[in-house]
Amino acid sequence: MRSEQEVNAAIDRYADTIRRVCMLYLKNSADTEDVFQTVFLKYLLSDQVFESQEHEKAWFLRVAVNACKDLRKSFFRSRTVSLEELTDLPAQLPEDHREVLEAVLSLPRKNREVVYLHYYEGYTAPQISQILGKNASTVYTLLTRSRQMLREKLGGDEFGE
Amino acid sequence: MENKLKRVLDQVTAEEELKNRTRKFLREERNRSGISPWRSLPRLIPAAACMVLLVVWGYWLYFVPTATISIDINPSLELELNRFDRVVGLRGYGDGEDLAQTLSVTHLDYDQAMEQIMQSQPIADLLAQDAVMTVGVIGRDNAQTARLLVSVEFHAAQQENTYCYQAHREEVEHAHELGMSYGKYYALLELETLGAEVTAEDVQNMTMGEIWDMKEQCKNHNAQSTSQDQCQTESEHQSHSGHSGENGHNGHGG
């Protein structure tokens, strides 16, 4: 079991990342809090030794994604996320920024998660495949398809390779 | 556009309140369980239950006897076999109790166990004197008892004066209550069917040769007589007549 100091440091390091992952999957703050508790409790109890900060971050992302998916599978949870229902979004977003976020969040979940991991977290397709437990070729396909869908929604070719 | 996405998502941060509630939750979890080994207990219960069931099932599968081979010559021995035809118990009756103590046949295949019994000193000596021996296969599973009987008959064919039979457990279920082996009890039932006037105590003290002679006497008697007279035990019979059976035992008849 990890020390309280160690856990608090991890919360400081990864809380924002996990919050963003939750935003991709969940629609209310109660679910987000559930995922936070699940992820950090796993960290508290885990004996996993991390080779590097990157390794640790990938672990948190994988555990958070799985926790969100598990929560969504739960019978009493809603399975859809609409932007209107999202809570705690940045209040004063410029219109064009909001448009981008809306476009990303309107993608199917499997596309949304690869877009986030690639364009925001900067992971490559093979790295994403490890985090999500998918084939690298599937991730490439999802990224290509997501780019097409975003271009259709937003116009232009801002989302590059 | 990518930059816009980054800028938007940069603004999505975990609220301090959320972080504090998470810290509080973890602190409580840590204190509540000491996060001791007991924490994982609920998860271990189904696994432990499965393990217990597996052990009980395995025990039942292996150790619960499904058939008995009753070897009677006086002494009497009973081999209890599991569904895999392995010996899971050995019981002796009369002089057989002492003999059973000297044999080590548990977990052996039944034919190895029988071989050891046949080669044991008291049994080998009696067989050398052409004593009558019966080997009965008793069980509830007719398929198993029939299979065992074939094998037992094969072994018995190598011995003079050895007779085999098969019986259902229910037929002889009262044997042990009377302190008799299944084989002796089965013989008692046969004698009663033939009209012999004989008690369990009489049969307990008789050798199989004596019982066999008595059966023959009764059969002969029944064939010759239409009266309701019954065959008699040795003590009653000795006052009437003497008869020497095939192994030199006294016969019985009325």
The total number of structural domains in chain B stands at: 1
Let me know the angle formed at the C-alpha of B165 by B161 and B169, rounded to the nearest 5 degrees: 145
Question: Which chain A residues are Cβ-neighbours of B12 within 8 angstroms?
Answer: 16, 19-20, 23, 88-90
Tell me whether residues B8 and A101 touch, CB distance under 8 A. yes
Tell me whether residues B22 and A19 touch, CB distance under 8 A. no
Q: Examine residue B91 and state whether it is found in any structural domain, yes or no.
A: yes
The pLDDT mean for chain B works out to: 83
Backbone angles phi, psi at B169, to 5 degrees: -55, -40
Q: Examine residue B157 and state whether it is found in any structural domain, yes or no.
A: yes
Q: Examine residue B243 and state whether it is found in any structural domain, yes or no.
A: no
Q: What secondary structure letter does DSSP report for B50?
A: H
Tell me whether residues B18 and A37 touch, CB distance under 8 A. no
Name the one residue in this structure whose structure tokens are 């003497």: B242
Give the closest residue to A90 by CA, choosing from A20, A14, A11: A20
- Which pLDDT score, from 0 to 100, does residue B254 have? 28
Domains of chain A, start order: 1-79 (1.10.1740), 92-155 (1.10.10.10)
Name the one residue in this structure whose structure tokens are 């490559």: A124
Tell me whether residues B15 and A119 touch, CB distance under 8 A. no
Instruction: Report yes or no: B12 at the A interface, CB cutoff 8 Å.
Output: yes
- Which pLDDT score, from 0 to 100, does residue A79 have? 47
Q: Examine residue B32 and state whether it is found in any structural domain, yes or no.
A: no
> Domain range spanning residue B151?
65-171
Q: Examine residue B215 and state whether it is found in any structural domain, yes or no.
A: no
Q: Is B77 helix (H, G, I), strand (E, B) or coil?
A: strand
Q: What secondary structure letter does DSSP report for B91?
A: E
Tell me whether residues B18 and A40 touch, CB distance under 8 A. no
Cβ contact B130:B161 at 8 Å: yes
- Which pLDDT score, from 0 to 100, does residue B160 have? 81
Q: Examine residue B236 and state whether it is found in any structural domain, yes or no.
A: no
Tell me whether residues B29 and A41 touch, CB distance under 8 A. yes
The one-letter amino acid at B246: E
User: d(Cα B3, Cα A120) in Å, to the nearest integer?
Assistant: 9
Q: Is B181 helix (H, G, I), strand (E, B) or coil?
A: coil
User: d(Cα A119, Cα A139) in Å, to the nearest integer?
Assistant: 13
- For A6, A110, A113, B65, B225, the CA distances from A107, given in Å and listed in that order, are 36, 8, 9, 66, 104
Q: Examine residue B31 and state whether it is found in any structural domain, yes or no.
A: no
Judged by CB atoms within 8 Å, which residues 62-121 of B form the interface with A? none
What digits encode the pLDDT tens for the residues B129-165? Answer: 889 999 999 999 888 999 999 988 887 887 888 999 9
B71: β partners:
B77, B135
What digits encode the pLDDT tens for the residues B188-221? Answer: 999 999 988 889 989 988 999 999 899 999 988 8
User: d(Cα A2, Cα A6) in Å, to the nearest integer?
Assistant: 6
Q: Is A52 helix (H, G, I), strand (E, B) or coil?
A: coil
Collect the ranges in chain A with pLDDT lower than 70.
Answer: 75-94, 96, 156-161
Q: Could you say which of A44, A89, A97 has the minimum Cβ distance to residue B4?
A: A97
- Which pLDDT score, from 0 to 100, does residue A102 have? 84
Q: Examine residue B101 and state whether it is found in any structural domain, yes or no.
A: yes
Cβ contact B75:B122 at 8 Å: yes
Q: Is the ipTM value over 0.85, yes or no? A: no
